[in-house]
Amino acid sequence: MLDASVLMLVLGASLGLLLAIAGKFFHVEVDTRVEQITNMLPGYNCGACGYPGCAGLADALVSGEAKSPTQCKPSTEAHRSRITTFMETGIDPQAPKEAIQA
């Protein structure tokens, strides 16, 4: 009984260490523009654009799969122009001045 417990403890620790190493080795950096554009969209997650929610459309805009923020039906012209400006310049036109300078 004790041997089985020790074996499971060693096996669990070994596999946990292997997962931790694999997590560091295969880490993928997330494009922060996707989150920024998601926050600029209205946030209804309605799917009217043809993508699974606002995050799906934001990911498609960043990757170039979606060509224009006009695919978001419930968005206003202000949302669309803000996203277009951000995609062209990389700067959020409504961001505080302190955030732009940093």
Per-residue confidence (pLDDT) for residue 97, from 0 to 100: 67
> What number of CA atoms fall less than 13 Å from residue 9's CA on the CB side?
6
Q: Collapse the DSSP code of 51 into the 3-class scheme (helix H, G, I; strand E, B; otherwise coil) and give the result.
A: coil
Q: What is the pLDDT along the chain (102 residues), one digit of tens a residue?
A: 889 999 999 999 999 999 999 999 999 888 899 999 999 999 999 999 999 999 999 999 999 999 899 999 999 999 999 999 999 998 888 877 665 554
pTM: 0.69
CA neighbor of 45 nearest in space, from 77, 75, 80, 82: 75
Per-residue confidence (pLDDT) for residue 96, from 0 to 100: 76
Per-residue confidence (pLDDT) for residue 98, from 0 to 100: 60
Pairwise CA distance, residues 57 & 38, whole Å: 8
